[in-house]
């Protein structure tokens, strides 16, 4: 789900790792690299080692909205949650797209998250680039997006796939090095905060 209107450049990306993930939990783990992300659900993943919901990715200030939508989505499909089982652990990842998006307008709604979850149930091809959670991303001072990578490996005599999808967020070119060498970029773009409704074009 990509939202673009006026100063809004943001969205939501959904990953559905299985058709009945609450009942058939998947092995999972998480790692925080920057130390202060607003992701939900990682504590239980790291404690129990399992994933029991789809994963939503969005902007920082839409995490609560997407968490509520993902909880509703899981309750609708699993009437036993909170009655005969424990509660559910919604997983929502985030990146701050406030440089290119009017993040203060809180444009992501529960209906957006529910729509992207419904669309993902049809197993469409993964959209990459300037879409969904990648819409407002910057990377090394350039316009970023969302991308993926995967590898096949053998584990216990079976072929398994490890996949990753991530919005690109690396703000400053000065941090980019390849084997200790820093590419000769021009001066890094200065960060600029935009006012509500001001176009980011």
The number of CA neighbours under 13 Å toward the Cβ of 105 is: 20
pLDDT of residue 108: 96
**Residue 61 backbone phi and psi in degrees, to 5:** -85, 0
pLDDT of residue 189: 44
| Low-confidence residues of the chain: pLDDT under 50 | 187-190
* Per-residue model confidence as pLDDT tens digits over 17-32: 888 999 999 999 887 7
* Per-residue model confidence as pLDDT tens digits over 122-156: 887 777 777 777 788 777 676 777 777 777 888 88
Alpha-carbon distance 200 to 193, whole Å?
Answer: 9
Alpha-carbon distance 16 to 165, whole Å?
Answer: 12
pLDDT of residue 86: 93
Give 103-157 as a DSSP string: GGG----HHHHHHHHHHHTT-PPPP-BSSGGGTT-EETTEE--EEEEEEEEEETT
pLDDT of residue 173: 53
């Amino acid at each position: 789900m990509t939202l673009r209107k006026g100063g809004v450049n943001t969205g939501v990306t959904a990953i559905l790792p299985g058709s009945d993930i609450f009942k058939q939990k998947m092995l999972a783990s998480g790692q925080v690299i920057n130390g202060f992300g607003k992701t939900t659900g990682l504590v239980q993943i790291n404690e129990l080692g399992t994933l029991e919901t789809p994963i939503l990715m969005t902007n920082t200030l839409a995490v609560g909205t997407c968490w509520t939508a993902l909880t509703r989505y899981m309750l609708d499909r699993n009437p036993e949650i909170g009655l005969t089982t424990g509660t559910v652990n919604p997983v929502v990842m985030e990146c701050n797209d406030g440089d290119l998006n009017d993040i203060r307008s809180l444009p992501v709604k529960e209906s957006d998250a529910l729509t992207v979850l419904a669309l993902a149930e049809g197993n469409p091809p993964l959209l990459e680039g300037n879409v969904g959670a990648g819409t407002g991303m910057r990377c090394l001072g350039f316009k970023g997006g969302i991308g993926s990578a995967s590898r096949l490996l053998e584990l216990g005599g079976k072929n398994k796939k490890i996949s990753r999808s991530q919005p690109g967020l690396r703000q400053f070119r000065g941090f980019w090095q390849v084997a200790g060498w820093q590419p000769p970029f021009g001066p890094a773009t200065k960060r600029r905060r935009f006012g509500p409704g001001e176009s980011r074009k």
